[in-house]
Amino acid sequence: MIVVRLPDNYHTRQGAGAFVATEIGRRPFRLAIGGLPSIREVLDVMELRQSVEVEAAWLAAARGIPALRTEIGKALARIDAAIERGESAVDEDFAFHRAVALATNNLQFWAFLDYLAASSSRAKASASPLIKARASALISK
């Protein structure tokens, strides 16, 4: 059996063939077809995430209530503690960014960050040793 993978803007009907989708604007956004297979694509997603997170940080500073700002500080301390233990701090880093997103008082930042996390779970697993190596290099300087 031969399996053909068509781009997302095509759909098939058994016995009728393949057709170009007419409602392209209604399909869900995807970061990359088939995951993030290259370092370049991982870096592109990180650049997108960084752009969103800069705005989230500004909004969190402008709108965040003191209790949420305290949570951001605690999350940052957990990153430092994980690095001190020689861990990658990937999970702690994500928790920090979630705390910032929550402090924006705009749940779309939270939802977008969750979307990025789900979309890049394979990238996270492969990037973890790289992050740990970079963190170790920074600590040793």
pTM, two decimal places = 0.61
Q: What percent of the chain has pLDDT over 90?
A: 29
pLDDT category, 9, cuts 50, 70, 90? low
Residue with tokens 């705390």: 99
Is the separation of the CB atoms in 51 and 96 below 8 Å?
no
| Predicted local distance difference test score (pLDDT) of residue 126 | 47
Q: In the predicted model, is pLDDT for residue 4 greater than 80? A: no
pLDDT, tens digit, for every residue of 76-97? 999 999 999 999 999 999 899 8
39-43, 47-51, 61-65, 104-108: least confidently modelled range: 39-43
Instruction: Look up residue 139 and give its two tokens.
Output: 């600590």
DSSP 30-75: -SSTTS--SHHHHHHHHHHHHHHHHHHHHHHHHH--HHHHHHHHHH
Domain residue ranges of the chain, discontinuous segments joined by +? 36-140
The residues that bridge with 12 in the sheet, in sequence order, are 18
Mean pLDDT score, 98-116 = 88
DSSP annotation of 6: -
